[in-house]
Structure 1
Amino acid sequence: MMNENKKPIPVTIVTGFLGAGKTTFLNKLLKKNQKKKFLIIENEAGNINIDGGLIDKKENVLIELTNGCICCSLNSELGSLLNSLILSNTWYDNIIIEATGMADPSEIIQLFMGNRAQQYFRLDAVIGLVDAGLFSSQFEKFTEIRRQIAQSDIILINKTDCVEEQVLTDLTNQIHAINPFAELHKTQYAETGEIKMIDSFSYKPGKIEKKISDFSSFKPAVSANNSHGINTFGFSIEGKLNVEKFSFWLEDFIYTNAENLLRIKGVLNVPDMKHKIILQSVSGHFQVLNGSEWNKTEPRINQLVFIGTDLNREEIEKSLFEFIN
């Protein structure tokens, strides 16, 4: 069976709206990493695959899923493919999933957050591409773009040569307001230079912890943004967390806000635990991991950030204060 003596295979999800430059980016990524063996899972909605013929395959393996959007057929076609990979004892250095431009990446992310999947695969990062020239008009019309931005770990603002500097500044600020955790890079022709695109370990507890600590809005109930219904706000509350009450509330909150909640990231202070507890949730699923050890001199502060659409900040704040004393 695959991976008995090997580390989980890193998985990179490439997302972005139609024409943002995903396939151009992927070709350049493969050319820069020719010593690695990639499995590329490429999806184009509709029966005729357009982008697949453009991908430079070389020594890599390309699998095309053309029967509908990859996020819609997740539990069947993509799930069966990954299960077959586990059983085949086939090894790759990296797996890259290029989703169709209309895909919501959360459905793909969820697949790799399960306990069984994590034995064989390690979600490395979600890389989102944005067309700088078309962003403003597309952002107004398509909710998919907003969800892609909110759930990306690395965002390439591509085709920057097509816009004026002030326009580029404004859209960069807008993207950062929606997702303050993402690394933002400005590119032309999807050229990333020396920027690290694979093996970025975006889901590693230490990296999540640092991003939360760096989040500039950590004051109790400070709203960072409300852009087209997307809220990004953080809470910072000192005290011990009542794990049992919080767990019940979290499961109920995620369930009742399944359509609205995009991400949760948090550092929690659990009584009698020497480690910080790292919480992350993506559209209905959540993980709890051990972070670094608490320093004896640092205040034990619970830090939580929520990203979603039409979330009620006041109700969340009220609930959190009930679980922390």
Structure 2
Amino acid sequence: MKDSKKINVYIISGFLGSGKTTLLNDLLRQFNAEKNVVIENEFGKINIDSTLINGSFDSVYELTNGCICCSMNNRLLETLARIVTRENRPDNLFIETTGIADAGEIAARFTSLFVAEEFCLKKIVTVVDAENILFYKDSNTEVQKQIVAADMVVINKYSLVETETLNEIKGFIQAINPYANISLSNEGSLERLNLEVENSRKTAIPSSVFNSESVHKIKTVLYETGDFFDIQKLKYEIFRNLYLYYHQIYRIKGYVMNSENKVFLVQTTGKTVIITSAEKQLISKSHLVFIGKQLELKTAERITKSAINE
């Protein structure tokens, strides 16, 4: 089969809250004249990010409750087989990994015989959050693995840090992956032309250099309730706990309802809490996903308790 008939693959990785979904949406808009499909992987049972995808795409394949770089290899291959046998064969496949995935391990799947005959891995893009990358880089090997595997590293929200910090981030990236091209972004954007630049090396190199186990130490907790929230109190409680336990809670995201049955999208990045109206989202009960270390359900219950309307 000629390369021109293969399905182009773009892997988008990045640590929790770096801006992967925003970048994916930006690319889908730029690829709007082509047939696109998306694989959305989430470590928890509920995939919040799949509800946030917009732009030009035919289908979204959700792989939840596991990470495709380790525990979900078979499901990934099954999904790729379904994509190949679609009646309308897509031009492009975009894979948004979990925030703790090893992009190198995922990329390596595309070197196997069957997969390589049908798919052409074009680019591994890793998004880093300029505000938090230097804090996470030493305590989470996932951050380094994602950068090591990348062909392109997008430093997101770069204008929020000082020039000295930005230079330190660039130096860190170049020290562990001198082959990666670096792009700056404030709102998770990346010009399509960057994906067409030839890679400095062959992709699909697993980052086994770190000699770490493939089982992630980061935990996901799903908190659900039929109670209603005082949105301002919830925002305050989440912010307060992120400030106190930033080393333990990496990400919170989900949908909640207030006493008027209005739905709100909750997202955190670092110590930033963003709660916005989500009128078009239909939910039967509030649900929040907490991602971090040493988390338990009682942690989520403690954080949200005082924000529930009596």
CA distance in 1: counterparts of 2:83 and 2:60, whole angstroms? 13
CA distance in 2: counterparts of 1:281 and 1:4, whole angstroms? 20
Equivalent of residue 95 in structure 1, options 93, 96, 99: 93
Spell out the pairing of 1:33-48 with structure 2 (5 A cutoff).
33-48=31-46
Q: 1:158, 1:187 within 8 Å by CA — same for their partners in 2?
A: yes
Correspondence 1:196 to 2:179: no
* Per-residue deviation, 1:201: 4.7
Q: 2:110, 2:121 within 8 Å by CA — same for their partners in 1?
A: yes
SS in 2 for 1:169: helix
Q: Which amino acid aligns with 1:196?
A: L
CA RMSD between the two structures: 2.3
Match of 2:299 in 1: none
* Per-residue deviation, 1:166: 0.6
CA distance in 2: counterparts of 1:67 and 1:120, whole angstroms? 27
Equivalent of residue 75 in structure 1, options 48, 73, 76: 73
Deviations 1:283-315 (A, max 9, x none): 39xxxxxxxxxxxxxxxxxxxxxx9348xxxxx
Spell out the pairing of 1:86-235 with structure 2 (5 A cutoff).
86-88=84-86, 90-192=88-190, 194=191, 196-202=193-199, 208=201
For structure 1, the residue ranges without an aligned partner over 5 or more in a row are 209-264, 266-279, 285-306, 311-325
CA distance in 2: counterparts of 1:5 and 1:110, whole angstroms? 18
Deviations 1:13-61 (A, max 9, x none): 0000000000011111111221111110011111111111110054421
SS in 2 for 1:157: strand
* Per-residue deviation, 1:8: 1.2
CA distance in 1: counterparts of 2:177 and 2:2, whole angstroms? 37
Match of 1:51 in 2: 49
TM superposition outliers: structure 1 runs of 4+ over 4 Å: 3-6
CA distance in 2: counterparts of 1:59 and 1:17, whole angstroms? 24
Q: Which amino acid aligns with 1:308?
A: V
For structure 2, the residue ranges without an aligned partner over 5 or more in a row are 212-310
* Per-residue deviation, 1:143: 0.3
Match of 1:308 in 2: 209
Deviations 1:126-151 (A, max 9, x none): 00000011011100210000000001
SS in 1 for 2:85: helix
CA distance in 2: counterparts of 1:198 and 1:20, whole angstroms? 19
Q: 1:125, 1:200 within 8 Å by CA — same for their partners in 2?
A: no
SS in 2 for 1:78: helix
Q: 1:74, 1:107 within 8 Å by CA — same for their partners in 2?
A: no
The two structures have a TM-score, normalised by structure 2, of: 0.63
CA distance in 1: counterparts of 2:97 and 2:136, whole angstroms? 18
Match of 2:28 in 1: 30
Equivalent of residue 19 in structure 1, options 17, 20, 24: 17
Structure 1 residues 25 and 173, CA gap change in structure 2 (3 angstroms) = same
Q: Which amino acid aligns with 2:152?
A: I
Q: 1:39, 1:95 within 8 Å by CA — same for their partners in 2?
A: yes
CA distance in 2: counterparts of 1:15 and 1:103, whole angstroms? 7
Q: 2:27, 2:192 within 8 Å by CA — same for their partners in 1?
A: no
Identity over aligned pairs, percent: 36
Match of 1:235 in 2: none
Q: Pick which of 98-107 and 4-13 moved more.
A: 4-13
CA distance in 1: counterparts of 2:52 and 2:204, whole angstroms? 34
Aligned residues: 211
The two structures have a TM-score, normalised by structure 1, of: 0.60
**Higher RCO (CA-CA < 8 Å; seq separation 6+):** 2
CA distance in 1: counterparts of 2:122 and 2:109, whole angstroms? 13
CA distance in 1: counterparts of 2:63 and 2:189, whole angstroms? 26
SS in 1 for 2:174: helix
